[in-house]
Structure 1
């Protein structure tokens, strides 16, 4: 399971870096911040196993977004 989570984290950070690279000062506009937040949400929902509930995914989403 830890290996799987590490793969999801690696995939997510790669996606975030690719998306952020397309923007100049991505934190300046609400639309670009929302795009990154949605990317995190969509990736977590698509990649994490079903044992992760809505509350957990929301919490992780917020923590990841704040980290980025």
Structure 2
């Protein structure tokens, strides 16, 4: 409920809210990222940065709505 019972603005309706939303990545996004980084750490390619490898692999780590 909004304070002082002011009328809702368009911004109020457009801004995202997390009530009842579950992450489409994982229940614990910190665990997801830690696992993803650990997995990416197994790839080493001469002349290719870690960031480039992570960016290339990230889409393959997604599932369901996140994909």
Larger Rg: 2
Structure number having the greater helix percentage:
1
TM-score w.r.t. the length of structure 2 is: 0.38
TM-score w.r.t. the length of structure 1 is: 0.38
